Amino acid sequence: MKEQWVIGIHAVRELLQQDGNVKQLCIQAGRSDSRVEELIELATSAGIPVENMPRRALDQLVNGRHQGVAAQAVFSESTLHERDLRRLLEGLDHDPFLLVLDEVTDPHNLGACLRSADAAGVDAVIIPKDRSAPLNMTVRKVASGAAETIPLVAVTNLNRTLKELKEFGIWLCGTAGEAEKSLYQQDLTGPLALIMGSEGKGLRRLTQEACDFLVAIPMAGKVASLNVSVAAGVCLFEAVRQRRP
């Protein structure tokens, strides 16, 4: 178990609504609006202590833009492991739908990807254990509750994990700007893992070689590529569109 602070109106609200193991809620003194009142009401009804404190004290307590609210919560192991992924896949009663992030190191991007994955109904997000953003306070804030709902699996060897996914009958779809096939031309139904590259380098060579096919998002403007979290949202919801009955 690990204690962490969660900051921001949306992230704290989701945490309280999920009945997470919140130890206390801290509110910036002087903050009084409907959103803050809602948080106080949620905490009070759950028997969670609420403390008002000066902004300077809250700034010293947590890093980042806290929007005047912070919740201290106890979380179980932050990320899952390879064995947990296997159990998760074996327990599914539908075609797996996964998101793989190849060395996404910006916590804001990881948080946004988790939020999109939750909205798209993804079964798990997979990241390499090294050279990836950790599941920290920033990630939880940007994810707005999705960090507590989406299984995040950190694997020691991403290439080995991709091979294991193939053994489960899961198709691997990588995204690359140089791919000849458009995202919208590719069949994204059935057991699927969408694989997104890092912010600067994109997919690593070995990751690309492990993919069953590569797709590109058509770009009409002068910008060469999208932010990885935006690209992940585009790809995920194209898959959602195709997978709906």
Instruction: Please check whether residues 52 and 117 belong to one and the same domain.
Output: no
Angle at 166 between CA 163 and CA 170, to 5 degrees: 140
- Tell me the per-residue pLDDT of 31-60, one tens digit each, with 9 for 90 and over: 888 999 999 999 999 899 999 999 999 988
pLDDT band (50, 70, 90) for residue 78: low
Helix, strand, coil in percent for the chain, rounding step 5: 40, 25, 40
Q: Chain-wide mean pLDDT for the chain? A: 90
- 17 and 40 share one domain: yes
Q: Are 199 and 158 contained in the same domain?
A: yes
For the chain, the domain total comes to 2
Position 1 pLDDT exceeds 70: no
Rounded to two decimals, the pTM is: 0.80
- List Cβ neighbours of 175 (8 Å cut-off, separation of 6 or more): 183, 194, 195, 196, 197, 202, 203, 214, 215, 216, 217, 231, 235
Does the pLDDT of residue 79 top 90, yes or no? no
Q: Which amino acid is at 98?
A: L
Using the 3D structure, point to which of 75, 102, 127 is the last residue of a domain: 75
Phi, psi of 62 (to 5 degrees): -135, 155
| CA of residue 217 relative to chain centroid, distance | 21
Same domain, 145 and 169: yes
Q: What is the mean pLDDT of residues 91-114?
A: 95
Same domain, 162 and 226: yes
The single residue listed with the structure tokens 């609504």 is 17
- 124-170 tens-digit pLDDT: 999 999 889 988 888 888 888 888 889 999 999 999 999 999 999 99
What token pair was written down for 75?
């979380």
Q: What is the DSSP letter of 153?
A: E
Which residue in this structure is represented by tokens 């801290």? Answer: 26
* Torsion from C-alpha of 92, 189, 114, 48, nearest 10 degrees: -40
149: which 2 tokens? 């709902």
**Residue 28 belongs to what domain range?**
2-75
Name the DSSP class of 114: H
57: CATH: 3.30.1330.30
3-7, 85-89, 240-244 — which is least confidently predicted?
3-7
The whole-angstrom distance between residue 105's C-alpha and the CA centroid of its chain comes to: 12
- 41 and 140 in a single domain? The answer is no
Distance between CA atoms of residues 62 and 57, nearest Å: 9
Find how far residue 238's CA is from the centre of its chain: 18
Q: Which CATH number characterizes residue 170's domain?
A: 3.40.1280.10
Same domain, 173 and 109: yes
CA 16 to chain centre: 19
Task: Measure the CA–CA gap between 162 and 128, rounded to whole angstroms.
Answer: 11
Higher-confidence residue of 11 and 162: namely 162
Residues 131, 203: one domain?
yes
Domain boundary (24, 41, 75) is at 75
